[in-house]
Structure 1
Amino acid sequence: MSVSHPGEPHQASLGQRLNWLRAGVLGANDGIVSVAGVAVGVAGATPDRAAIVVAGVAALVAGALSMAGGEYVSVSTQRDTEQAALRLEKYELETMPEAEEKELAGIYEEKGLSPGLAAEVAHELTQNDALEAHAEAELGIDPDQLTSPWHAAWASLAAFVVGALLPLLAIALPGVSVRVWSCAAAVLVGLVLTGVVSARLGNADVRRAVTRNVGVGALTMLVTYLVGVLFGVTTG
């Protein structure tokens, strides 16, 4: 049990949860924008509901798998780096324990403890669980809470699918005359929600985040719709 920083394990845990939630919001946002862009683009080219649905589903599947795969690779690389750092720290603790303890004491001195108290804290923590104490203080890593690549991949996949279903259903269910407007309205609502949540998580300005989110989504749908209309007219 580490007692090096009162409250820090809770802060680290909270930080991890916020990171997961932020990644989920970004995944949902990506699903909304990318699938809406594809669906609206196809709707601009053809009124065929089946073609729109097939294109939307293909974009959903490809996007979800791509995001999950990218997250898996990214987190796996991060985990490999963390494990390599932990192996090096473990080796240093085994081969030069006194130097490592002095280094840990120096870290606590920099945080404001007196030299004597810093040395005492470093000694007690090293005696209790040397690797955990040194990893948290020197590397910012909790050896028992390394991020799982599979958890990251599944979370990203699920978030993307949830976000993508919003524009897909909104454009597939209504009639021809209102389907694009229905999709635009659904996307607007979704982007406002993800903008608000992401701003709250990052303590940012909500209005600016929502405006940016909605602006990017609207531009994406407008451009892809015009491209669809262009190709629809050209091939018609």
Structure 2
Amino acid sequence: MTFQPPEQHRIKSISWLRAAVLGANDGIVSTASLIVGVASANVSHDNILLTGVAGLVSGAMSMATGEYVSVSSQADTEQATLAEESVELKTDSKGEHQELTAIYMHRGLDYTLAKQVADKLMVHDALGAHAKDELGISDLSIARPLQAALASACSFSVGAVLPLVVTALVPETWLIEGVVSVALVSLAILGGLAAKAGAAKIFPGVLRVTLWSALAMFVTAIVGTLFGGI
């Protein structure tokens, strides 16, 4: 009997896709909004550029720290839960076997087949079987703090570079218009690519990200204008 390789489904890319899109989106929106807000206060071009660079560095570090702390907490919870499950397997193997059998019966298998499946999996990898089928912990969802922190910081930085490049190249008289235009176009493309990669509808994804991002830049522009007149 020949076995076909497992199918590749889009759901496997959701975790890293979410982190990458969120980081890049935040990088573009926060840095562009910061630049627009400061530029609206009529400060010098050098100060605007310096503010944008500071926003990139602080934002990337904030994203990395927040993601690391959050995912580390998830990892700690997963490890503690697996440790508890390992103890239960050693102290009450029969009960855990019955629990696994009940899980498979609940999914539609009859008792005989469910017991056979539980028998095989308990011998092959008891903790792995309970982790996946009882606790919902798998290789697809397992927490990886350092990977998550690095991905968030890098994706944020990549996004934040776009409005910074515009700030450095565009004349000061067109700075706000240039930053806003490039930011919104980039965000629309990013939202469309994310929706396509996730097999979702493209237009709603593009509309959501552009509308909320435009609102963020509009609000910061108002704040900058108000404080610039003081």
Report the TM-score when normalising by structure 2.
0.91
- Structure 1 unaligned runs (5+)? 1-5
- Retained in 1: the 8 A contact 2:11–2:198? no
Aligned residue runs from structure 1 range 30-69, under 5 A: 30-69=26-65
Q: For structure 1, which segment, 157-166 or 17-26, has the greater mean C-alpha deviation from structure 2 after superposition?
A: 17-26
Letter in 2 for 1:130: A
Choose which of 90, 96, 101 in structure 2 pairs with 1:94.
Answer: 90
Question: Do structure 1's residue 181 and structure 2's residue 189 form an aligned pair?
Answer: no
TM-score (norm 1): 0.89
Which residue does 2:207 correspond to in 1? 211
Deviations 1:44-86 (A, max 9, x none): 1125111001111111111111111000011001001111110
Distance 2:147 2:88 in 1: 31
Give the share of equivalent positions with the same residue, in percent. 47
Aligned equivalent of 1:75: 71
**Cross-structure match for 1:3:** none
Question: Does the CA contact (< 8 Å) of 1:37 and 1:221 recur in 2?
Answer: yes
Report SS of the residue matched to 1:178. helix
| Residue 160 (structure 1) aligned with residue 156 (structure 2) | yes
| Unaligned ranges ≥5, structure 2 | none
C-alpha root-mean-square deviation of aligned residues, in Å?
A: 2.1
How far residue 219 of structure 1 moved from its aligned partner, in angstroms, is: 1.4
Q: Is the 8 A contact 1:45 1:229 kept in 2?
A: yes
Task: Tell me what 1:133 maps to.
Answer: 129
Checking the alignment, whether the CA contact within 8 Å between 1:47 and 1:176 is kept in structure 2 is no
2:191 matched to 1:195?
A: yes
Q: Deviations over 1:84-129 (max 9, x none)?
A: 1101110010000011011101111111111101101101110111
Distance 1:229 1:153, change over 3 A: same
Secondary structure of the equivalent of 1:139? coil
Contact 2:37/2:217 (<8 A) preserved: yes
Instruction: Give the equivalent residue in structure 1 for 2:117.
Output: 121
Provide, for residues 122-155 of structure 1, a one-character-per-residue CA deviation record: whole Å limited to 9, x for no partner: 0111011111111111011137983220110000
Distance 1:144 1:45 in 2: 47
Check the 8 A contact 1:86/1:143 in 2, yes or no.
Answer: no
Report whether the alignment pairs 1:171 with 2:197: no
| Residue matched to 2:25 | 29
Query: In 1, distance between residues paired with 2:126 and 2:214?
Result: 53
What is the CA–CA distance in structure 1 between the aligned matches of 2:140 and 2:154, rounded to whole Å? 25
Q: 1:19 aligns with which of 5, 15, 21?
A: 15
- The alignment of Structure 1 onto Structure 2 pairs a total of residues equal to 226
Task: Say if 1:22 and 1:201, in contact at 8 Å, map to a contact too.
Answer: no
